[in-house]
Amino acid sequence: MNARQLLAVVTLFAVLVVAFTNEAGACPGGCCVSRMTLAEQSVLADVVLLAERVSGDEQAKQTFFVIRQFLRGEPEELNVGDMVSVSRFVKKDHFGQHLLLGNKAQQGLWAWGSLGVMTEAALSYILDAPSPQFAPPQRLPYFLRFLESSDSLIAEDAFFELESAEWNDLLACTSQLPRDKLREWLRNPNIEPKRLGLYAMLLGICGNRSDAEFLLAHIQQPTDYFRLGIEGFHIGYLWRMGEKGLAVLEKHRLCQKKLPFSERYAVFQAVRFMVAHGQDRLSRDRACESLHLLLEEPELADLVINDLARWEDWSVQDRLMSLYGQGEYDNRPTKRAIVRYLLKAAKVQPPKADEQKQDDPTAKNSKPEDLASSALQAQASLETLREKDPKTVQEAERFFLLLQ
């Protein structure tokens, strides 16, 4: 098992552990773990009501509830005092008011699901929450108030609301982000690890230079294990420090071969994110320079090469040809990535005078003569590989054509 495969396994294991912990601890009523927020689940239900658990059958996996109050929807066939059953067993020691969601199935039957025992605080939180129909910048400030609530159901749902938001919508809430609390939570060893990445990103949005140094101090802590959410610390740091910060990460993270693979992979993911969402804080050319360093990481080579092709950096053709089929680079994903890179480079045509790129004036090979030279070099390299490894080239060409 190589390092990247190991990272995938560790990540999956960490996610499963978090999910199990949530189901066992954050939802004492035995509710199912869902990535949908409470507001989203409520909107999809035909009926939302409060009900009291009266009995359960563990063998049949059923729990029986008596309706106490309708919160949304009130069908004619249902009344306060009626009994309904949920197809899941809720332990007998979890009595109290449960929030039930009902959907009318075929033949007039109802399907019910429990979101767990409702405290007064949780019920107030749900009833006061803005509808998903409102624009995210209008809704998100409400949920910011409930991050790390002492009520685990509220804290989990508020976090999901922020986690599922679009990046631009989070940026629109910059002035309302709780900077001091974010720092406090990031220092707290009892905060769920899965939340740290988002909190670090939010601190990067709303923080200052001292917050960037705070994030860097965490990044540079010695570690020999996978740290859940560490990508978020890198993104928050780069958002605040831009290309100067990338130089620091290159020196202290990318070039430190003794670091765990996952730590260098986190830098890679952060660079990708900043190119896509960084609002010019990190130019594509500067990002490509970091990816050149990552070509020294065989486990990441295919991903790096794919990004270099996507970002139209044709400056590493000689390097890729020297790596092809050599040592740890002698694997199908890396060889196919190199061939696809060359196929794309070979098809690049210099733009006409009136079609010069306007979106990224610092893009590599922007000069027509450089593009023409790169295309010719790629065509020659492909011919070399067709003689050396015709099977791989044919496979890559076949899929390349399908994606055109």
**Which comes out higher in pLDDT, residue 301 or 42?**
301
Specify the pLDDT at position 6.
Answer: 39
Find the range with the poorest average confidence among 83-87, 140-144, 154-158, 309-313: 83-87
Specify the pLDDT at position 12.
Answer: 38
For residue 158, which amino acid is it? Answer: A
Question: Among residues 102, 96, 98, 50, which one has the least CA distance to residue 71?
Answer: 50
Specify the pLDDT at position 349.
Answer: 74
The mean per-residue pLDDT over the stretch 332-337 comes to 96
Specify the pLDDT at position 258.
Answer: 84
CB 321 within 8 A of CB 347: no
> Residue 92: how many CA atoms within 13 Å on its side-chain side?
4
Specify the pLDDT at position 368.
Answer: 62
Backbone angles phi, psi at 49, to 5 degrees: -150, 165
Question: What's the residue count for the chain?
Answer: 404
- Name the 3-class secondary structure at 44: helix
pLDDT band at 24 (very low <50, low <70, confident <90, very high): very low
Residues in contact with 26: Cβ distance below 8 Å, sequence separation at least 6, in sequence order: 152, 153, 155, 156
Specify the pLDDT at position 377.
Answer: 95
- Integer Cα distance of 215 and 232 in angstroms: 10
Is the pLDDT at 321 greater than 60? The verdict is yes
Specify the pLDDT at position 34.
Answer: 45
Rank 91-95, 256-260, 369-373 by mean pLDDT and report only the highest: 256-260
Return the bridge partners of 100, or none: 49, 114
Q: Where are the alpha helices (DSSP H) in 38-151?
A: 38-44, 120-128, 136-144
Q: Please, is 25 exposed, middle or buried when counting C-beta atoms within 10 Å of its C-beta (0-12, 13-18, 19+)?
A: exposed
The mean per-residue pLDDT over the stretch 214-220 comes to 97
Is the pLDDT at 282 greater than 90? The verdict is yes
Question: Among residues 180, 239, 172, which one has the least CA distance to residue 212?
Answer: 239
Is the pLDDT at 25 greater than 50? The verdict is no
Residue 94 corresponds to which tokens in the numbers above? Answer: 């979890």
Q: Find where tokens 């009344």 sit.
A: 79
Please count the other Cβ atoms lying within 10 Å of the Cβ belonging to residue 228.
20
When the pLDDT of each residue in the chain is averaged and rounded to a whole number, the result is 85
Return the bridge partners of 375, or none: none
Q: In which element (H, E) is residue 99 found?
A: strand 97-104
Residue 392 corresponds to which tokens in the numbers above? Answer: 């791989």
- Integer Cα distance of 265 and 124 in angstroms: 42
Q: Find where tokens 């990540």 sit.
A: 11
Return the bridge partners of 84, or none: 65
Q: In which element (H, E) is residue 385 found?
A: helix 368-388
How wide is the angle at C-alpha 165 spanned by C-alphas 162 and 170, nearest 5°? 80
**Which comes out higher in pLDDT, residue 69 or 116?**
69
End-to-end CA distance of the chain: 33
Angle 230-249/209-219 helices, nearest 10 degrees?
100
Domain boundaries, the chain: 38-123, 295-348+364-404
pLDDT band at 117 (very low <50, low <70, confident <90, very high): confident
**Which comes out higher in pLDDT, residue 45 or 26?**
45
Q: In which element (H, E) is residue 62 found?
A: strand 62-72
Specify the pLDDT at position 49.
Answer: 92
Specify the pLDDT at position 400.
Answer: 72
What are 231-260's pLDDT values in tens digits?
999 999 999 999 999 999 999 998 888 889
Specify the pLDDT at position 353.
Answer: 54
The mean per-residue pLDDT over the stretch 292-314 comes to 95
> What is the per-residue DSSP string for 337-357?
HHHHHHHHHHT--PPPGGG--
Specify the pLDDT at position 40.
Answer: 85
The mean per-residue pLDDT over the stretch 338-358 comes to 76
Measure Cα distances from 32 to 52, 197, 397 in Å.
18, 24, 46
Rank 51-60, 70-79, 181-190 by mean pLDDT and report only the highest: 181-190
pLDDT band at 76 (very low <50, low <70, confident <90, very high): confident
Specify the pLDDT at position 119.
Answer: 86
pLDDT band at 160 (very low <50, low <70, confident <90, very high): very high
Q: Percent helix, strand and coil across the chain, each rounded to 5?
A: 60, 10, 30
Find the range with the poorest average confidence among 2-11, 217-226, 275-284: 2-11
> What is the per-residue DSSP string for 250-303?
IIIIIT-TTS-HHHHHHHHHHHHHHHHHSTTSS-HHHHHHHHHHHTT-GGGHHH
Is the pLDDT at 141 greater than 80? The verdict is yes
The mean per-residue pLDDT over the stretch 268-279 comes to 96
